[in-house]
Chain A
Amino acid sequence: MMYQMHPELRMLLILLLTPLTVMFLHAVLVRLRRTVPPQKVAFHASLCGVGPVFLLLWRYVFSSVGPTANLALTAVYCIIIYCALSYIYFHFYNMSETARRIRILCEIEMAGSMLPEDLASLYRTTDVVSVRLRRLVALHQLQYVNGVYSISGRTLYWAGKAILCWRTVLGFERKRVGP
């Protein structure tokens, strides 16, 4: 049935399966690598997804395109789409892991309803900060030596800087706004 379809339609269908492929691989990796920081596991799942998705693309799309400039362009297109869909999946996972709004919704969903003070006690400022500090140390973005935290990796630091610049472009208030 796959062969009866137009090759470019096959390509679109395979690419659209990317988030599902990454999610299944992620579920496997989570169970195999319990000690690795969760965000790293999600990133590794995106990397592992390259194998099955591009194997399918090779089998059903690239082999029928032929070795022309068209093949290079199709490959570039597939790489862009794969990276973008993996990135979206990573953010979806990250929301489930780190977003306070999602946690608030899930807590109320499980409890049925909640008093405002229960919600506040469940989610204290000290917890919010401590969880993030531990997470940043696990991701090697901070190091904790002799009771103080200092910058270790620069990836997220530069991401933070870029976000502040983009806020200025969008005309958000210039002061550094808290969470």
Chain B
Amino acid sequence: MKVEVIVYGLLLFSVSLMLHIVIWRIRLPLMSSLMLVLLLVGAPMVFGLCLMADLCGSARFFGLNAIETAEAVLLQFCLSGSYIAGYPAVRVVSPSLDILIMIAASPNKQMGEEEILHRYMEMRLVSARIDDLRSYYLLVERNGRYVLTLPAHLIAKTFLLYRRFLGLQMGRG
């Protein structure tokens, strides 16, 4: 394997990440998670696949052949995937991490359950998530009831099947 594979993979990821920071600082995109996937995975993948198709003969791009380009794209894909996997916790601070920071910041570095609950009673723990699902068109209201759209059906079925495969009940959220 050439060192260029790792260098180009890291470079591709760094450029995508810089673009992400610049765009997000200018204006947080609507459907930011979807935009992030397109920016970090979609665009580099399309670029990589076009390049691989072009390189299937003996052509080379920056000294890389088709397989080496695929290796660089896989590296970029994995790094981007790792970043995207952690992005929901960045977009809306998770209650678990928030609880830890809250306890550490409290005067005695300890809190009772009532005290912790009191803080969360004022927050929109569930309705904010429902609004989020509606903004992504995963949930729609029909005759006063919430129903899933087709993509949401697929997501829900995937997770239900996955949990069944693992032999676990549905997660507690």
Residues on A facing B (Cβ under 8 Å): 6, 8-9, 12, 15-16, 23, 26-27, 30-31, 38, 70, 73-74, 76-77, 80-81, 84-85, 87-88, 90-93, 95-110, 112-116, 119-120, 123, 125-133, 135-136, 141-142, 147-151, 156-157, 159-161, 163-164, 166-167, 169-172, 176-179
Q: Contacts A84-B82, A91-B86 known; list 14 others, CB within 8 Å.
A: A77-B75, A81-B74, A102-B159, A104-B130, A113-B142, A114-B145, A116-B144, A116-B146, A136-B100, A142-B100, A151-B103, A151-B109, A176-B98, A179-B120
Chain A residues within an 8 Å CB radius of B121? 125
B107 at the interface (CB under 8 A from A): no
With an 8 A cutoff between CB atoms, is B168 at the interface? yes
Q: Which of B67, B104, B142, B145 contacts A151 (CB 8 A)?
A: B104
Question: Least Cβ distance of A169 to chain B in Å?
Answer: 6
Assembly CA distance A81 to B68 (angstroms)? 14
- Contact check, A120 vs B147: say whether CB atoms are below 8 A apart: no
Indicate if the CB atoms of A81 and B75 lie closer than 8 Å: yes
Q: Mark B152-173, 1 if CB is under 8 A from A, else 0.
A: 1101110110110111101111
Given contacts A96-B162, A108-B139, contact A102 B81 (CB under 8 A): no
Q: Which residues of A contact B146 (CB under 8 A)?
A: 108, 113-116, 119
Whole-angstrom CA separation of A111 from B10 in the bound complex: 45
Q: Is B53 an interface residue (CB 8 A)?
A: no
In the complex where A96-B163, A104-B129, A170-B21 touch, is A164 in contact with B101 (Cβ < 8 A)? yes
Q: Which residues of B contact A97 (CB under 8 A)?
A: 171-172
The contact of B113 among A74, A102, A115, A130, by CB within 8 Å, is A130
Closest residue on chain A to residue B26 by CB atoms: A171
User: Which 8 residue pairs of A and B lie closest in terms of their CB atoms, listed nearest first?
Assistant: A160-B97, A91-B85, A103-B173, A84-B78, A109-B156, A178-B123, A150-B110, A171-B25
Kindly state whether residue B125 has any CB partner on chain A within 8 Å.
Answer: yes
**Residues in chain B within 8 A of chain A (CB atoms):** 1-3, 5-6, 20-21, 24-25, 28, 67-68, 70-71, 74-75, 78-79, 81-82, 85-86, 88-101, 103-104, 109-113, 116-117, 120-121, 123-130, 132-133, 138-139, 141-142, 144-148, 152-153, 155-157, 159-160, 162-163, 165-168, 170-173
Q: Which of A74, A102, A163 sits near B97, CB closer than 8 Å?
A: A163
A-B CB contact pairs (8 Å), 29 listed = A12-B67, A12-B70, A73-B3, A76-B6, A77-B1, A77-B75, A80-B6, A81-B75, A84-B78, A87-B82, A90-B85, A92-B162, A99-B173, A104-B133, A106-B156, A106-B170, A109-B153, A113-B142, A116-B141, A116-B146, A123-B173, A132-B96, A133-B113, A136-B100, A149-B116, A170-B25, A170-B90, A171-B25, A177-B92
Q: Decide if B133 touches A88 in the complex (CB within 8 Å).
A: no
Judged by DSSP, the binding face of B is helix
- B133's contact among A16, A105, A115, by CB below 8 Å, is which? A105
Give the residue among A12, A131, A132 with the most B Cβ atoms within 10 A: A132
